[in-house]
Amino acid sequence: MQPLAEKRVVSGLPGVAPRLLLDGQPLLSAHEKTWPRWARPGLLVSGLRSSPERRHVGCTSCPPDASEWEKTLATLANYALTSRRAGRILAAGFRSRAPARLEGVGCGDEEDQALAPAEGVTPRSLVRRVLAAKLSNPFRRAAGFLVLDIGSSSVKLAEVHHGPSGPRLATLDMAPLPPTVVQSNVVQDEGPVVDAVRAIMARRGVQARQVITAVPGPAVMVKKVLLPAQTGAAVESAVLAEAGHLIPDSLDNVNLDYQVIDLIEAGNKMEVLVVAVKKEIINSYTNAIRAADLEPVVVDVDYFALENMFELNYDPPGGHPLALVNIGARYSSINILKNGRSTFTGDVPVGGAEYNDALVRQLGVSPADAEALKQGRAAGGADPAAAEQVLASVTELIVEEIQRALSFFWTAATDEPLGAVFLSGGPARMPGLSAELKQRLDCVVEVADPFRRAQVERRVDRLLIEASGPSLAIAVGLATRRPGDK
């Protein structure tokens, strides 16, 4: 575990004091201003690697005249000692400015650490989680993995367990990101991403460390190529040779993958899907994940995560082709499926941020008020009728751009008429958007439900699903993957 960023100095933990006592004395006194150096939470982590017989959790120079509350703090650490999950929760609840690693911090002459609860964690909730973890079933299943959808306006995180019946979401949450964090498909500032991820994990008590994520479609080159049917290493050589003609940049500067998807012409030709993304882009996402002390194990593309979400929740489509459209903050991803297979992918440079920008520009409201107006709430003293007119004009713009793109894409992909469109993303529920698109395309247009068949544990926030379901489509699609997948 890497040292976490400093926030502020803690000023006692009064929320704990009235509830945990030793010989009638409070666990922590409200007037205490700092943690004793030997009893700081960094040692609580090192205690996980210490023997249970050590009274003060791995500290070899514990002062014999330690106060009762100091000894009790060490007792709480020992309480978490025999439960690795409890100890991790306890450690995740704090931030430290120590230059040393949190695991194995000693006493000696080290500088005192300024400590504060992590964002979203209260002392009461932290202690409750530690106690619950200690008392929980010791035979509980091991932690699964995380899916992380880092968008241009928010980050969505889910903890997933795979079983015989498929993926099950054990935790689900999201947090906003400043608009400057992800620009031009690159994570420009890791800090807000790291803070958001750590806050969610601390708030939800998440233990998994392996992460499956996705890069945005506009950052990716996706091509289908026909090659002579081959096997083994010859396939990779043929793909690399073909990619050299397809990719304008040097192959040394890109991450490239491929998948043989079909054999045609009596088995003499193979259809290969080639995917390439600049290393600079993919590294910006994986570096942000590593900065949060997590391990990226699979990097997908949002086009294909969208397809997996659909396959998880809907029966295989028959008849006419259908389009999956995920409307993000700054762009919309499109994946056209025919006979259950992706035949075309592309993007439209419009998204939900168009609403906010238009409200700020035309009504002179703040970005926060614009977001409230977009959600149908009064804000900024703006005339509701004027706000509705602005929103309607943006909806018409987005519909027009999606219609134009779909007309081009499905003409390039197939000569059959489009049978249905499934919308996802936060703006998919904007008033009038799906109805207007249905009228223009003359086909079924439906807002997709990523949780129609997805398995979700009871502890997952149902209000979050109801309020933000379509915006979680990419995260649900990523949940169908597994660590170790190609």
Choose between 25 and 391: higher pLDDT: 391
Return the pLDDT at 88. Answer: 52
Query: Over the stretch 391-402, which tens digit does the pLDDT of each residue have?
Result: 999 999 999 999
Q: What is the pLDDT confidence band of residue 266, given thresholds at 50, 70 and 90?
A: confident
pLDDT-wise least confident of 118-127, 189-198, 382-391: 118-127
With a pLDDT cut of 90, the percent of the chain lying above it is 47
Q: What is the mean pLDDT of residues 24-44?
A: 35
Structure letter (DSSP) for residue 4: P
Helix (H, G, I), strand (E, B) or coil at 58: coil
pLDDT at 76 over 70: no
Residue 36 has pLDDT above 60, yes or no: no
In the structure, what pLDDT confidence band is assigned to residue 214 with cuts at 50, 70 and 90?
Answer: very high
CA distance 54 to 290: 33
- Which residue intervals of 211-363 are DSSP H helices? 233-246, 279-291, 302-313, 353-363
pLDDT at residue 484, rounded to an integer: 80
What digits encode the pLDDT tens for the residues 409-462? 777 666 788 889 999 999 999 999 999 999 999 999 999 999 999 999 999 999
Question: Where do the DSSP E strands lie in 362-448?
Answer: 420-424, 444-447
Give the ranges where 82-160 is alpha helix by DSSP (H): 84-92, 123-135
Position 413 scores a pLDDT of: 62
pLDDT of residue 143: 57
Percent of the chain with pLDDT over 70: 70
Average pLDDT of the chain, as a whole number: 76
**Integer Cα distance of 160 and 172 in angstroms:** 9
Classified as helix, coil or strand, 36 is: coil
Judge whether residue 48 has pLDDT over 70: no
Range from 83-92, 229-238, 392-401 that averages highest in pLDDT: 392-401
pLDDT of residue 284: 96
Q: What is the pLDDT of residue 22?
A: 32
How does strand 115-117 pair with strand 455-456?
unpaired
* Nearest C-alpha neighbor of 88 from the set 129, 144, 135: 129
Does the pLDDT at position 227 exceed 60? yes
Among 354, 309, 343, residue whose Cα is nearest residue 214: 309
Predicted pLDDT at 138: 47
What does the block give as tokens for 453? 């068949």
Q: Give the pLDDT confidence score for residue 410 in this predicted structure.
A: 74
Measured distance CA(164)–CA(269) in Å, rounded? 36
Residues β-bridged to residue 336: 323, 344
pLDDT over 60 (residue 363): yes
Per-range mean pLDDT, top range of 197-201, 313-317, 339-343: 197-201
- Asked whether the beta carbons of 188 and 180 are under 8 A apart, the reply is yes
Name which of 248, 245, 250 is nearest 225 in CA terms: 245
Mean pLDDT of 462-484: 94
pLDDT at site 355: 95
**pLDDT 10s digits, 161-200:** 998 888 999 999 999 999 999 998 999 999 999 999 999 9
| Measured distance between the N- and C-terminal CA atoms of the chain, rounded to whole angstroms | 27
pTM for this structure? 0.71
H/E stretch holding 161 reads: strand 154-163
Supply the pLDDT for residue 19.
28
Q: Which residue has the higher pLDDT, 484 or 135?
A: 484
pLDDT given at position 98: 31
Domains of the chain: 21-135 (no CATH), 315-447 (3.30.420.40)
- Can you tell me the distance from the alpha carbon of 401 to that of 394, in angstroms, rounded to the nearest whole number? 11
| Residue 154 bridge partners (DSSP) | 176
User: What does the pLDDT read at residue 431?
Assistant: 93
Question: What's phi and psi for 203, nearest 5 deg?
Answer: -65, -35
pLDDT of residue 51: 30
DSSP E strands, 331-465: 332-338, 341-348, 420-424, 444-447, 455-456
From residue 248, alpha-carbon distances to 10, 245, 272, 385 in Å are 53, 7, 19, 49
Does the structure show a pLDDT above 50 at 125?
Answer: yes
**What does the pLDDT look like over 126-150, one tens digit per residue?**
555 555 554 545 445 555 999 999 9
Give pLDDT, residue 122.
Answer: 54
**Of 60-74, 210-224, 462-476, the least confident:** 60-74
Higher pLDDT, 225 or 473: 473
Q: Which residues, including other chains, have CB under 8 Å from residue 348's CB and lie 6 or more apart?
A: 331, 332, 334, 401, 402, 405
